[in-house]
Amino acid sequence: MERRSSVYIRRRRIIGQLLIVALLCYASLNLLRLLGQEWRLLNQLRIFWHEQQAVDAKHAQLQARIIEARSEHGSEHLARKSLALVRPGEIPVVFLTGARSQVIRYPAPPTPAPTSTPP
């Protein structure tokens, strides 16, 4: 059996140690990249979660408005607000925006003349 020289063994040992150090550096770098990616994903998840909460709140608000609009009181409120409809006999009041507000009174509709019935 042939013995290898101590220089050869030392070189092999140093090369082996350098390979192990290189492998550890490579693994550490990949681990740092993985941790950075995980942090970005968790941050995105937090942002999406807050957006989902806002969308859910808006959805609940719109559902409540739909339910209110379908009710009798809600449809009357929308007709008064959007279409400026009034019930017979009511005096509509219009508020104007600007330097000063005014109350506009519309004339009451004429009442029909009483009809006389023949005796």
One-letter identity of residue 36: G
User: What pLDDT shows up at residue 28?
Assistant: 97
Q: Which residues contact 106 (CB under 8 A, 6 or more apart)?
A: 91, 92
Average pLDDT, consecutive stretches of 10 residues, N- to C-terminus, the chain (119 residues):
78 95 97 97 97 97 90 83 81 67 65 67
Cβ atoms within 10 Å of 74's Cβ, excluding its own: 14
Q: Considering Cα of 71, then 73, then 74, then 79, what sign does the dihedral take?
A: positive
Under a CB-based contact definition with an 8 Å cutoff, are residues 96 and 102 in contact?
A: yes
Q: What are phi and psi of 117, to 5 degrees?
A: -100, 140
Burial label for 80, CB within 10 Å (0-12, 13-18, 19+), is middle
User: What pLDDT shows up at residue 1?
Assistant: 47
